[in-house]
Amino acid sequence: NSKNLSQTWKKMSKILTNCLIASQKPGQVLNIASNLALVRYASTGTPKSAQAQAKVSSEKKPSEKPAESPSFAMNLFRGQMRLDEIFPYPSSLNEEQRDILQSLVDPTAKFFEEKNDSLKNDKLETVPDDIMQGLKDLGAFGLQTPVEHNGLGLNNTQYARLVEIVGSHDLGIGIVLGAHQSIGFKGILLFGNPEQKAKYLPKLATGENVAAFALTEPASGSDAASIKTRAVPSADGKHWTLNGSKIWISNGGFAEVFTVFAKTPVKDEKTGEVKDKVTAFIVERKFGGVKNGPPEKKMGIKCSNTAEVYFEDVKIPAENVLGGIGNGFKVAMNILNAGRFGMAAALSGTMKFSIAKAVEHATNRNQFGKQIIHYGTIQEKLARMAMLQYATESMAYMVSANMDKGSLEFQIEAAISKVFASESAWAVTDEAVQVLGGMGFMRDAGLERVLRDIRIFRIFEGTNDILRLFIALQGMNYAGKHLKELQKKVQSFDLGTILTEGKKRIGRQIGMQNIPSLTEHVPTQLSNSAGLASKAVVDFGQTVESVLVKYGKRVTEEQFVVNRIAQSTIDIFGMFVVLSRAARSINTNSPSGDHEAALANLFCYEASKRLEQNLRDALDGKFVESTKMMSKIAKDLSQNGHTVPAHPLGF
Amino acid sequence: MPLRILVGCKRAIDYAVKVRNHFISETKFNLNNAKIQVKSDFSGVVTEGVKHALNPFDEIAMEEAVRLKEKKLASEVIAVSCGPAQSQDVLRTALALGADKAVHVEVPGKEYETLQPIHVSKILAKLAEQEKVDLIILGKQAIDDDCNQTGQMTAAVLNWPQATFASKLQITDGDKEATCEREIDGGLETIKIKLPAVITADLRLNTPRYATLPNIMKAKKKPLKKISPKDLGVDISPRQEIVRVAEPPKRQGGGKVSSSEELTERIKKLGVV
């Protein structure tokens, strides 16, 4: 018996040693200078916590226990299924808010159906004055601004519902409005002091002044912390002088109020060292020195103005610092984070439009003696389109509801929804064009404009590539902190923890995992998919731990692997989201319950197949070999300047 | 003395709702995407789950009333709707467009199916008297039944002058007269009528404004009174029995003929000549 015990203990300690190794390395991840920007991304807090952090020093005490997060996505990385924010499908509107929203939906839709002409806007590459004024009169410029500041005071879910309407009609206008209120002056809403709010919000909400978000520079896109625009304080501290140039600023051609991000010299209180840190400023065009370039010619969202903005010795009053000196990066990341759900909502509306066009065509177009909807090829396309739209919509309204309910940690879910929405919208509209055949390619069918408008959504507001890395690294950072905590408990001979954690890992090794059950949360129609989803959580957690063990601190450089983790996170979140929504519909006897079950089950089936592949690749030597091939190929390309192979004809 | 105006607001199926595409079979998805179709018992058209809105001609009537108020020629605009509980939606719209207060004359579902202009005209007449109204502006007809009777009947009940199919309206001689341009079969006719009077709005009278979202939210605070036809002493028992409602017969294909002789023969065969 004692022999068995010592063998078991040997096994457990071996497994736990691996955990210790894994737990140490991620802890060091935070100290690497090279991937600092990415890691900074990963360590950014969320709006409310950011406001708190803006006032308190960001110095972290070494003995602090890692915080528990209620976020579903975060806990996935620990192999845990935390359902508070997912089941049941959250709703955040009370009776009155629902009533108000319902009364706003039709009038908003009516304006876009009857007055706005999206094809005309695309052709003119501008928004006609009467439409712009109509939008201002409609109240569309201050949807989330508090009522006391001339706004409509809508919460995130109400905003999402209206933005969905805009998205289904005219994404160009969507960007004009979004650049203004979702990022342009969002900083004032999130970080402004009462004086700043009272001064700026009233005219912004009515659209008398239009706002813009000025972060990106020619040499600083994804690497936002590297911006060169600078603001230096005056000797008397009463104003700052701003110099620099920004590119691709939506509304840049006519905005009156800019949220500008610039490097400012900041003195460290303790060391006396002066370092450059990013600070956010509210800059008015009328301060003087603000100029803009001509409108950029773009692939899509043509009616939205995009321009370079130059700041030459612009004098900014000291009271226009936004969110505190040196906190600009956090302000920027929080603004973008807070707006991401809106994109998912808008694009779910866009997809509805594309799908309606495709279905209309498929049910009317007759080839080879039948309406083409009778053919499997078309059915697969339409079904996938419907499935992607359903998942996007479910994500958008889940994130918005959780934000409304006061969730502080939604940055991974928000990022997932942006990535998923933008890629789905592109795929859906592309397939819609395909279903329409030649007609889809023609301007008057109205689809090619939508496709061109959609393309930018994978690029701006955080490229999907960066967001994928963010999703995975944020999660692994969280997992790593908890592994570190585990390490401490082992070292202090916390037997309870040792036995539990040891048992868990041995269980995994011998194939007897304790898979948490989802069945009590879902109706029988969804049981199989629920099983796939809960197994995915365990497999994912295991893979993450093994990846951390294998690579340690180097994991931030292993983008090939990190991307598999990221894609898996997105797929798992998607599975849970559609299950939650379908479960609610079935449980409330919605007439579309059966259809939703089909969508959810299809999504889970396909996602689980992708997961199997991605999680395997993340640890597979063969995959690593293939990535080495990719790196070599890329290197050869960079040396050659273009494709490398000699021509098959020899010349 | 600025005028007090009563505007009729009917909740009718939205003009943009399409007729059911017959390829797709009976759908159970009772979402707002529902199209127009005849009920399976041929007693009427399905209204449940179908998108409704303020009757377009009533929107035009509302716009005209609000413009008169903006010109300071009117002091109060009262919106009225007769129908089931959902009629309050169009009254909220009317309030958002600029009405000062609204009256909902509640007529529950079953009775509403047989409510006709003869009843509505009496209701409007009674309300006009109670509210001491100087001008009643109605849409020329509702787009669901196309009756084109309520305005004319209301004027008759009140024994007021009427100017129907108005495409231009001017209040003249203080507030005692109105000059109206009417669209008639032969063209345009201009008449002068004494107030109080009933006007019915035609398409070209004006272009209605869009309700702004802030006004929609403010409209929630404006007064909306609910009464029943009984409160006005109006009897709404049915005067008609609906026998059958059906779709128009499917259009039959035509045919080509090669000569005028063949044409004559074919027409004779059809028994038309």
Domain assignment of residue B77, yes or no: yes
Q: Is the model's pLDDT at B62 over the cut of 60?
A: yes
Residue A512, phi then psi, degrees to nearest 5:
-110, 80
Residue A537, phi then psi, degrees to nearest 5:
-60, -45
Domain of residue B110, residue span: 3-16+51-232
Domain assignment of residue B43, yes or no: no
**DSSP run (H or E) holding A190:** helix A186-191
Task: Quote the tokens at residue A26.
Answer: 């991620």
Distance from CA of B30 to the nearest CA of A (A): 7
**CB-CB under 8 Å, B210 with A152:** no
Calculate what percentage of chain B has a pLDDT beyond 90.
73
The domains of chain A, with CATH numbers, are 331-465 (1.20.140.10), 496-638 (1.20.140.10)
Listed range (A206-220, A483-497, B16-30) with the worst mean pLDDT: B16-30
Residue in B with minimal Cα distance to A152: B214
Domain assignment of residue B25, yes or no: no
pLDDT for A29 equals: 34
A139-169 pLDDT, tens digit per residue, is 999 999 999 999 999 999 999 999 999 999 9
- Closest alpha carbon to A421 in A224, A621, A611, A574: A574
Total length of chain A: 651
Predicted complex: ipTM over 0.90: no
A634 CB neighbour count, 10 Å cutoff: 10
DSSP string covering A277-309, please?
EEEEEEEEGGGTTEEE-PPPP-SS-TTS-EEEE
Domain assignment of residue B199, yes or no: yes
Span A208-227, average pLDDT: 95
DSSP string covering A213-273, please?
EE--BTTBSS-GGG---EEEE-TTSSEEEEEEEEEEEETTTT-SEEEEEEEEEEE-TTT--
A106 touches chain B (CB under 8 A): yes
Residues 143-202 of A with CB under 8 A from B: 143, 152
Domain assignment of residue B101, yes or no: yes
Q: Is the model's pLDDT at A38 over the cut of 50?
A: no
Calculate what percentage of chain A has a pLDDT beyond 70.
88
**CB-CB under 8 Å, B213 with A107:** yes
**CB-CB under 8 Å, A111 with B29:** no
Residue in A with minimal Cα distance to B32: A106
pLDDT for B256 equals: 86
**CB-CB under 8 Å, A371 with B23:** yes
A229-263 pLDDT, tens digit per residue, is 999 999 999 999 999 999 999 999 999 999 999 99
Residue A494, phi then psi, degrees to nearest 5:
-75, 90
- Res. A514 pLDDT band, cuts 50 70 90: low
**CB-CB under 8 Å, A134 with B24:** no
Q: Is the model's pLDDT at A51 over the cut of 80?
A: no
What's the domain count of chain B? 1
A10 CB neighbour count, 10 Å cutoff: 10
Average pLDDT of chain A is: 89
The CATH number of the domain holding residue B157 is: 3.40.50.620
Which residues on A lie below 8 Å from B28 (Cβ)? Answer: 591
Tell how many helices (H) and how many strands (E) occur in chain B: 7, 11
pLDDT for A397 equals: 98
- pTM across the whole model: 0.85
d(CA A40, CA A109): 41
Residue A393 appears among annotated catalytic residues: no
- Res. A77 pLDDT band, cuts 50 70 90: very high
A–B interface: beta-carbon pairs under 8 A: 50
Angle between helices A593-619 and A527-551 (to 10 degrees): 20
Domain assignment of residue B243, yes or no: no
Calculate what percentage of chain A has a pLDDT beyond 90.
78
Domain assignment of residue B38, yes or no: no
- Res. A552 pLDDT band, cuts 50 70 90: confident
Dmax of chain A from CA atoms? 87
B86-118 pLDDT, tens digit per residue, is 999 999 999 999 999 999 999 998 899 999 999
**CB-CB under 8 Å, B29 with A595:** yes
- Please calculate the CA angle A495-A496-A500 and round it to the nearest 5 degrees: 110
pLDDT for A18 equals: 55
B232: which DSSP letter? G
A598 touches chain B (CB under 8 A): no
pLDDT for A507 equals: 66
pLDDT for A508 equals: 64
Sheet containing B101-106, strands listed edge to edge, beginning at the edge strand earlier in sequence: B187-194, B177-184, B162-172, B197-201, B135-139, B3-8, B74-83, B101-106, B224-227
Domain assignment of residue B39, yes or no: no
Q: What share of chain A is helix, strand, coil (3-state, %, to 5)?
A: 65, 10, 25
Task: Quote the tokens at residue A195.
Answer: 């004086």
Question: In Å, how far are A153, A232, A518 from A99, measured between CA atoms?
Answer: 14, 50, 33
**CB-CB under 8 Å, B211 with A100:** no
Catalytic residue among A461, A501, A545, A596: A461
Partner residue facing A103 (CB), from B23, B212, B216 = B216
Distance from CA of B40 to the nearest CA of A (A): 19
Which residues on B lie below 8 Å from A131 (Cβ)? Answer: none
A610 CB neighbour count, 10 Å cutoff: 15
d(CA A231, CA A243): 6
